[in-house]
Amino acid sequence: MELRPLRYFLAIAEEENITHAASILHVTQPTLTRQIQNLEDELGTKLFKRGKYSMKLTEDGMYLKRRAEEIISLADSTAMNIGTKDKEITGEISIGCTETDSMEELASAMSEFRTLHPAVSYRMITANVDTIREEIEKGLVDIALMTEPDDTERFETLHLKTKEHWGAIVSSTSPLAGKSAVTPQDLQNEALIIPMRSEVRLTLENWLGCSFDKVNIAARYNLGRNVALLVRTGVGTAIGLNLFSGFEDLSFIPLHPPLITGSVLCWKKNTITSPAVGSFLQFLSDSDNRGCGKTEI
Strand-strand pairing, 155-171 and 250-254: antiparallel
DSSP structure class, residue 178? T
pTM of the model: 0.66
pLDDT at 100 (0 to 100): 87
C-alpha closest to that of 268 among 5, 3, 15:
15
Q: Do the beta carbons of residue 155 and residue 107 sit within 8 Å?
A: no
Cα distance between residue 197 and residue 222, in whole Å: 7
CA-based nearest residue to 110, from 289, 264, 284, 263:
284
What CATH number does the domain located at 163-260 have?
3.40.190.290
Q: Is the dihedral of CA 175, 176, 178, 183 positive or negative?
A: positive
* pLDDT confidence of residue 62: 92
pLDDT value, residue 271? 74
The predicted pLDDT at position 129 comes to 85
Q: Do domains 3-83 and 163-260 have the same CATH topology?
A: no
Element spanning 168, H or E? strand 155-171
Q: Tally Cβ neighbours within 10 Å of residue 248.
A: 8
Nearest to 172 by CA among 222, 100, 259, 244: 244
User: What's residue 269's pLDDT?
Assistant: 82
What are the extents of the domains in the chain? 3-83, 91-162+262-290, 163-260
First and final C-alpha spacing in the chain: 23
Cβ–Cβ < 8 Å for 156, 73: no
The CATH superfamily label for domain 91-162+262-290 reads Periplasmic binding protein-like II (3.40.190.10)
Q: What would be the CATH architecture of the domain defined by 3-83?
A: Orthogonal Bundle (1.10)
Q: What is the pLDDT of residue 238?
A: 95
Residues 6+ apart with CB under 8 A from 265: 106, 143, 144, 145, 157, 158, 159, 160, 284
Evaluated on CA atoms 133, 138, 140, 142, the torsion sign reads positive
Q: Are 170 and 237 in contact (CB under 8 A)?
A: yes
The residue among 274, 295, 263, 269 whose CA lies nearest residue 105 is 263
pLDDT at 143: 94
Give yes or no for a cis peptide into 184 (omega within 30° of 0).
no
List average pLDDT for each run of 10 residues in the chain, which is 297 residues long: 90 91 91 93 94 90 89 72 67 90 92 94 90 84 87 85 93 92 94 91 93 92 85 94 80 95 88 85 70 40
DSSP string covering 53-82: S-EEE-HHHHHHHHHHHHHHHHHHHHHHHH
Partner residues linked to 111 by β-bridges: none
